[in-house]
Structure 1
Amino acid sequence: MAISPISGANGGSQAAFGLDFQSLLGIILTQLTYQDPLKPVDNFQFVSQLAQFSQLQQSQSLNDQITDLLAAQGASQATSLLGRTIDISASGSTLSGKVQSVSFTTGQPTVTIKTDSGQTISGVSIADISNVRL
């Protein structure tokens, strides 16, 4: 049976069918407890399953750490824009403005800028920025 990682509702990774690593180990232990003593599970197969589950847990842990690292990097990048003048593309033209604030309301950093004409534009995604000036 192949097990593929999916994201859980709480943001943590879980194995297929919503089971975490501890639940999968519980299934293996239950299998060992109720196995037929005349036909035990092959040792190689058992160790192979444990190794696969261990590898799955390590992969999920690494994935969670990379996700956290990317979020921290995005936050750092966004806050480094405070006070800088940026250019964004809007309706086919380029707008310039100074970054006034950074917001994380949607989980992704967005900035609020004030243009030279006094217009305030909020909710500008970092991906929409085409140029950063001092």
Structure 2
Amino acid sequence: MAISSTSGPGQVNNLNLQEFLKILTSQLSNQDPLKPLDNQEFVAQLAQFSTLEQSTQLNAKIDQMLEQQAVTGSVGLLGRNVGVGSGGANGGPSVTGRVSAIQFVSGQAQLTVTQSNGAVFTGVTLDQITSAQ
């Protein structure tokens, strides 16, 4: 997770969690003992750190949810007739058939589509599916 801020026209600075902790630690270690960090500023920085950590955890949970949704969607296609896009100029399906198997490779569903003539197509991903019946 990175925090983005603009520091000038067209400039974006990314600050990740480790860099934020380094800056905070350096600031606390090198502060003037006669002029310590203002309590309000310190609390604001801690709140920013807490928000950053929560955002990181939220992103991880959303990623898990999206993976679960892909699994559920692919299982729902099992036994159904699908059209697999050709990626060509006409945009129509180049292969139609029944989803006969599902395999998960690195968290991504890969379908096996069997045509009525017995031809088998493996490694079909969900984004290649153009229609389902």
TM-score by length of 1: 0.74
Alignment partner of 2:100: what SS?
strand
Identify the residue that residue 4 of structure 1 maps to in structure 2: 3
Q: Given the alignment, which residue of 39, 48, 54 partners 1:52?
A: 48
- TM superposition shift of 1:89: 2.3
Identity in percent: 36
Measure the CA separation in 1 of the matches of 2:126 and 2:110: 6
Equivalent AA in structure 2 for residue 78 of structure 1: S
Measure the CA separation in 1 of the matches of 2:78 and 2:19: 41
The number of residues matched between the two structures is 118
Q: Given the alignment, which residue of 33, 36, 46 partners 2:32?
A: 36
Can you give the 5+ residue segments of structure 2 that lack an aligned partner in the other structure? 5-14
Can you give the 5+ residue segments of structure 1 that lack an aligned partner in the other structure? 6-14
Measure the CA separation in 1 of the matches of 2:71 and 2:19: 29
Identify the residue that residue 121 of structure 2 maps to in structure 1: 121
- TM superposition shift of 1:101: 1.0
Are residues 1:76 and 2:67 paired?
no
Equivalent AA in structure 1 for residue 130 of structure 2: S
Structure that is richer in strand per residue: 2
Name the CA shift for 1:20/1:72 in 2 (closer, same or farther; >3 Å).
farther
